[in-house]
Structure 1
């Protein structure tokens, strides 16, 4: 075995030993008996759920998506779900309403390793594969609508994925971005402060796996289940397609690596977060967006009254639709 590789492994073993002894419990040992409010989702009127279509990714993984297509489309939105979820979980409210009320063609993919898409659950071979999958979905939309304005967005970590994609040098030409209750990553410092009543720990993060992956240049721990989501057993039982973890690679794909500079480079975006969001502090999120977005950017940044992290999905079309229609004029 290569001597340099042996040395690297030895250093990593020492690092792991140190981290195991010193990492704060809030990273590796935290737990919670709480969960987001799902009352609004459960009580919402039913919306039509489009069947799943499939397209082959660049590495032949089957990517699932649902398409909500109006008769006379005016714009396109490719919209990604949040952590562990898939396109069949209430996101049809966004797709059906934008299609029926605003003539926006909505494509809702299942991220590889999620829902109806292929690939190892909660994982990706490389970080860039997830971003390249967005290019694949852009091509699907462009085959049907070659000349329409095209937007990319997402909810929660799906918004984080969209922000990462916005700064990738191989991205397609995108007209704007939609961020709904966005996860901008730990570097944005938009979580609630410790001890706040609304603070909710949705995930347990094994920080040591990320450190090992970073120090090894991505050689080790990329497929480790480093982020575990605190879904209640009842939610997992009722929704068996939910993936209750992310690997290091998948987490790095959806976690903005430099959210301040990434956001500053976007020329057009809309951002909405509920006043009662349980995951992210709406004041911090909106202040972050105002501070770091470009002065010349066309943007709408809004805190939506009476909405929480999931209820905002039900009414999102009522503000996303008008914003897109105004943006394309």
Structure 2
């Protein structure tokens, strides 16, 4: 079971100790809420962050944003996905899985109006990482993205051998038959059926508002890689996979072996020490900042598309 209490206590400690950035603004674009963090540096690299399952941008992601701004001079955009937080949509539901991926393009379109020359980097935590894997492999992105970071990625049930054996209450309880019928009918039936129940304790409702505890088939399909091995092998851009060494959901060594077996030459794997599935948010900023700096330096202005990365020094 994920330790939400440890996460909430750590988040409170970081909130007290971190200095604020020079500019934090909240916006709504076609019903999507996003929050933009900007430091004193010119906006050259924007990291768009997608949250994990059931939560929203208020669940500690502002701490990571401020760390990236202060330590690496990056600008950061946090997003509430459709059906989450204060974004539009019925909580935990989607009319079509493709909408979530199309919204990534829509948000970048909005940001490009203000920052047309910036390079854009995508980061997903947990199920947000699964969504971004689908974005690049089940959808044709509208814009060239400079890099991708998968933080404690939820690769889904089709990534065999990477999950820990659960001895307590599982984080997600899934009803399988609606997914089977939805797949057999090519998405025509049972897309709105509530088939996933997330075990998020009620004790954190005071820390994070607008939590989502139930997902429809469409929402789960948008967030979950259907063929994670094949999808990792076809990711078309420099990608960093960061895995917590004490992750409660996944076996770190198995995740590393999976990444090395199926990842292509764009993929780098790193282990985050003394981190769990949730609090790795607070321990990942250095690795993310160094990765983005390395990518930007290696590929320059992206002429001709991304190139294989040199090995990142340990």
Category of TM-score, reference length = shorter chain: 0.7 to 0.9
Query: Residues 120-167 of structure 1: CA distance to partner in whole angstroms, max 9, x if unpaired?
Result: 111111010000000011112222222222111210000001111111
Tell me the equivalent position of 1:153: 123
Mapping of residues 144-293 of structure 1, within 5 Å: 144-171=114-141, 172-194=143-165, 201-236=170-205, 238-266=207-235, 267-293=237-263
Instruction: Normalising by structure 1, report the TM-score.
Output: 0.82
Cα deviation, residue 271, structure 1: 1.1
Q: Establish whether residue 134 from structure 1 lines up as the match of residue 101 from structure 2.
A: no
Q: Secondary structure at the match of 1:286?
A: helix
Using the TM superposition, name which of 305-314 and 237-246 deviates more.
Answer: 237-246
Q: How many Å separate the matches in 1 of 2:136 and 2:59?
A: 25
Instruction: Normalising by structure 2, report the TM-score.
Output: 0.86
Q: Secondary structure at the match of 1:107?
A: strand
Question: What is the RMSD of the two structures over their aligned residues, measured on CA atoms?
Answer: 1.9
Tell me the equivalent position of 1:25: none
Q: 2:3 aligns with which of 3, 15, 36?
A: 36
Runs of at least 5 residues in structure 1 that lack an aligned partner in the other structure: 1-33, 57-61
Is this contact kept in 1: 2:64–2:281, CA < 8 A? yes
Q: How many Å separate the matches in 1 of 2:165 and 2:213?
A: 24
Cα deviation, residue 190, structure 1: 4.8
Change (3 A) 1:169 1:230: closer
Runs of at least 5 residues in structure 2 that lack an aligned partner in the other structure: 298-314
Q: Establish whether residue 54 from structure 1 lines up as the match of residue 28 from structure 2.
A: yes
Q: How many Å separate the matches in 1 of 2:116 and 2:293?
A: 18
Tell me the equivalent position of 1:6: none
Asked which structure has the greater CA Rg, the reply is 1
Q: How many Å separate the matches in 2 of 1:324 and 1:96?
A: 16
Is this contact kept in 1: 2:2–2:277, CA < 8 A? no
Change (3 A) 1:232 1:41: closer
Query: Residues 250-288 of structure 1: CA distance to partner in whole angstroms, max 9, x if unpaired?
Result: 100010122112111223111111110011121121211
Task: Count the aligned residue pairs.
Answer: 287
Is this contact kept in 2: 1:74–1:103, CA < 8 A? no
Query: Residues 285-320 of structure 1: CA distance to partner in whole angstroms, max 9, x if unpaired?
Result: 1211111111x32x4311111100111101221110
